[in-house]
Structure 1
Amino acid sequence: MTDARSRHGRVSLALSFFVQGVTFALLVTRIPAIQTRYGISDGLLPAFLAAVPILAGAGSVATEKLVARVRPGTLLRWAQPVVLLSLLGVGAGDQRWQLGVSLAAFGLAVGGLDASMNMLGVSLQRAYRRSIILGFHAAYSLGGIAGASLAWAGAHWGLPLLMAYLPVVAVLLPAALVGSRWYVDSARRTGPDAGPDAGPDAGPDAGPDAGRGAGRGAGKSGAAGAGSPVAGTPVAFRLLLPLCLVMAFAYIGDSTVSNWSAKYLQDVLGGSEELATVPYNAYMVTTLLGRAVGDLGVRRFGPVAVVRCGSVLAGAGFAVVALAPGPWVGILGFTLLGLGLCVIVPQTFAAAGRLAEERNSPGGSDAAVARLNVFNYVGFLVGSPLVGALGDAWSYRGAMLVPMVMVLVTLGYARSFGPRPDRYGGGHERPRVVDVG
């Protein structure tokens, strides 16, 4: 069972995911326009694209340290405005150094934002005792669709980048700040003063695990207190390693779509600048559809089967993109990619939380999520320059086969997403177990 505070926290966190989806889509779908505005050559473009995930990785590492003292909700509350203002800076400048400063701020802030968002998502999923994390990522996908649609409108009407970005930031920035008031940093507390209000699941049917999952203080209520975050025992890196590799492979695939789909459709498949904004939008549409039903799929078939199915679909999508004779077939390939990749990343975060939970250290899930999130940016760091280098040296069609192989390698690690054998029985979750998958 969950209380109103957890439900409000779920809505506010979904809003944060949505805002980030809009922001990121507005940046990546206008890469050709940004390249033209700042006079960046094809050879120099990968360097600019690589700087963002490097700095984001640094931001995620810093977040792992900061959450020992500062609640993830506080970090998220201030990181999101910085990301939005950095996007505005990209549209406002006209010198390369200005672009560099804006992208640097974007990268550092987005590292903390991504890590803290997923920390809160794993914590809320633990409180709900069923898979809900795909729903948060579905909100991100919905934001990506909105952002890509706004980018298409900007390209269609020939709007300058600043004019395209300014109204969006003016709406989303105050909305994100208002929504941040209801972030829920933790579902429960531990300690002798946990009391009857210790969390949304502390009712009579909460089970013997109800007193164990303390993360941070629960906010403004008396149960939460104002205490500092509760540290957890970190999950050993060797146990996280399979998930880290899967995360990197998935984001190599995702970065190929976000950073190169527009350019690929325009330069390789002969699409117009207007049509070049469509692949990312189509990718996000199928990502949204897959994530909207993904939680039900995880509960019915388990995370292992869902991840395997996603990997096969993603591999097929890359194959279609590489062999596409024209832009519309290429768009079809990118839609398959969205349907396949959409379930992998949320499930890696959920699996990291499960590892911490199985070791009776739900507080340690924050560190596990932050470490795992670094490989998000490893994937972006490797994927974008890799595709660019292979495209220049060989062909962009051939370059699409490399992330295809990496995504298919995920099939070998799929068992890492499964819970302990006694967590599921007869296709149903046991009611007294905290399920984060």
Structure 2
Amino acid sequence: MTDARGSRRLRQGRASLAISFFVQGAIFALLVTRIPALQDRYGISDGLLPVFLAAVPILAGAGSVGTEHLVRRMRPGLVLRVVQPIVSLALLAAGSGTAVWQLALALAVFGLTVGALDASMNMLGVSLQRAYGRSIMLGFHGAYSLGGIAGASLAWAGAHWDLPLPTLYAPLVAVLVPVALIASRWYVDRGAHQPEQAQGAHQTGQAELQPQQAEPARRDGASVGMRALLPLCLVMAFAYIGDSTVSNWSAKYLEDVLHSSEQLATVPYNVYMVTTLLGRSFGDLGVRRFGAVTVVRAGALLAGGGFAVVAAAPGAWVGMAGFTLLGLGLCVLVPQTFAAAGRLFPGASDAAVARLNIFNYVGFLIGSPLVGALGGAWNYRAAMLVPMALVLMTIRYARSFSPVPAGYGDGHERPRTVDVG
């Protein structure tokens, strides 16, 4: 009976966390897809705009660092419950102000809290995956992709009907904030369900949740060796360099290099997001069947092949095929990197996730300027070969994704018949 309650609680925690990933995907998309409208609203020059855009990931990195120290005193679930509404309200503030200082303040709050949000969400995801004893991280990031598609679609509708930003943002925030707060009631933090599980295992003789029971309670960041974490940090940065290349340069590449129409140039990013969602929807099954190392290697090869197709494409449709491959390949790397950090440091996974999350923003900061500088100085076809080479370097570090003795049982996964979800 107690074991059944523990399993139900895990399912509720998984669903509630997926809702938070979805909400954050929608909020972030509503910001980045309406940057031109924000620029027009506040009269920001093209020269000043990159300063605002760079400040957000820099502050997000600071927020992630702060979260590492914060979760030593409070649960990651509580951090997430507090910061997610603040992120949403910061979006509304950014779209509702009239002075540049108001936008700067709103984006500063957004950046700091989104770093804490990303870190705490992935801390909970890693903890839940350990409790489940099987791969579920890709599903959470799939919910984020779905939220991104929903947010981008709503932003397109707002632009199509020429809605003012407050008119677009206010009703959406009014819906998303209560949804996130209600869902937060069922977050499952590390160790919050251990007593139930221990009692259930004692009564029934089952050991379905032993990996979580065996995990040390420590969250001491000092036990996270950066030398051991560095390969995963590099993979995270490489993945986001590839992702930011697609998000920032796909439209320009199709229109200027492959000579597509302006309308057709908007398609690649949407295709990329859809294939990212599809890959993440089925990626956990691939990890369970073939193991994380194989999935990461396959993802890196697909992404590298996608960049190669884009660089060599004779026309727009072949270029879009390349961006499709990119979505299918890159989508598995980030979730599996967080999961690998949790396996590598089972007694300090919160600290490992917080430090790893910083390289999300490092990759985002490097990717777009790097491709732009190379494209301007050389040409954009050749510039696409640089993120290709970096993504392919992930193969070199694929061994870092292999299970460790503190992982999820024998081999790369526990048997699928042992399923608490």
User: Structure 1 length as normaliser, TM-score?
Assistant: 0.85
Amino acid corresponding to residue 284 of structure 2 in structure 1: D
The match for 2:126 is 122
Amino acid corresponding to residue 372 of structure 1 in structure 2: L
Which secondary structure state, in structure 2, belongs to the residue aligned with residue 368 of structure 1? helix
Equivalent residues in 2 for 1:2-13, closer than 5 Å: 3-13=7-17
- Please provide the CA RMSD for this pair: 3.0
Q: Which ranges in structure 1 are unaligned for 5 or more consecutive residues?
A: 216-228
Amino acid corresponding to residue 307 of structure 1 in structure 2: V
1:404 aligned onto 2:404: no
The match for 1:134 is 138
**2:221/2:352 contact within 8 Å kept:** no
CA distance in 2, matches of 1:394, 1:54: 28
Out of 103, 123, 141, the residue aligned to residue 99 of structure 1 is 103
1:319 aligned onto 2:305: no
**1:88/1:165 contact within 8 Å kept:** yes
Equivalent residues in 2 for 1:261-410, closer than 5 Å: 261-265=250-254, 277-324=266-313, 327-357=316-346, 361=347, 364-410=348-394
Superimposed CA distance per residue, residues 114-134 of structure 1 (whole angstroms, 9 cap, x where no aligned partner) = 000000001001110111111
1:238 aligned onto 2:227: yes
Which secondary structure state, in structure 1, belongs to the residue aligned with residue 345 of structure 2? helix
CA distance in 1, matches of 2:267, 2:215: 43
Pairwise CA distance, 1:409:
1.1
CA distance in 1, matches of 2:317, 2:199: 51
Pairwise CA distance, 1:300:
0.8
Which secondary structure state, in structure 2, belongs to the residue aligned with residue 283 of structure 1? helix
1:47 aligned onto 2:51: yes
CA distance in 2, matches of 1:299, 1:238: 28
Q: From the superposition, tell whether residues 112 and 338 of structure 1 become closer, same or farther in structure 2 (CA, over 3 Å).
A: same
Amino acid corresponding to residue 33 of structure 1 in structure 2: A
- Larger helix share, 1 or 2: 2
Q: From the superposition, tell whether residues 40 and 313 of structure 1 become closer, same or farther in structure 2 (CA, over 3 Å).
A: farther
Q: From the superposition, tell whether residues 321 and 116 of structure 1 become closer, same or farther in structure 2 (CA, over 3 Å).
A: same
Pairwise CA distance, 1:266:
5.6
Out of 60, 69, 75, the residue aligned to residue 73 of structure 2 is 69
CA distance in 2, matches of 1:164, 1:271: 30
**1:115/1:369 contact within 8 Å kept:** yes
Pairwise CA distance, 1:198:
4.5
**2:219/2:351 contact within 8 Å kept:** no
Amino acid corresponding to residue 347 of structure 1 in structure 2: Q
User: Structure 2 length as normaliser, TM-score?
Assistant: 0.88
The match for 2:402 is 418
Which secondary structure state, in structure 2, belongs to the residue aligned with residue 69 of structure 1? coil
CA distance in 2, matches of 1:161, 1:327: 32
**1:314/1:340 contact within 8 Å kept:** yes
CA distance in 1, matches of 2:36, 2:371: 16
**1:72/1:185 contact within 8 Å kept:** yes
The match for 1:226 is none
**2:68/2:221 contact within 8 Å kept:** no
CA distance in 1, matches of 2:357, 2:32: 20
Q: From the superposition, tell whether residues 371 and 320 of structure 1 become closer, same or farther in structure 2 (CA, over 3 Å).
A: same
Superimposed CA distance per residue, residues 257-311 of structure 1 (whole angstroms, 9 cap, x where no aligned partner) = 2334455556655667765554332211111111111111011111111111111
- More displaced 10-residue stretch of structure 1: 56-65 or 169-178: 169-178
Pairwise CA distance, 1:90:
2.6
Q: Which ranges in structure 2 are unaligned for 5 or more consecutive residues?
A: none
The match for 2:83 is 79
Q: From the superposition, tell whether residues 261 and 29 of structure 1 become closer, same or farther in structure 2 (CA, over 3 Å).
A: farther
Which secondary structure state, in structure 2, belongs to the residue aligned with residue 206 of structure 1? coil
CA distance in 2, matches of 1:288, 1:153: 21
Which secondary structure state, in structure 1, belongs to the residue aligned with residue 189 of structure 2? coil
Q: From the superposition, tell whether residues 236 and 30 of structure 1 become closer, same or farther in structure 2 (CA, over 3 Å).
A: same
The match for 2:215 is 213
> Alignment identity in percent?
71
CA distance in 1, matches of 2:103, 2:257: 27
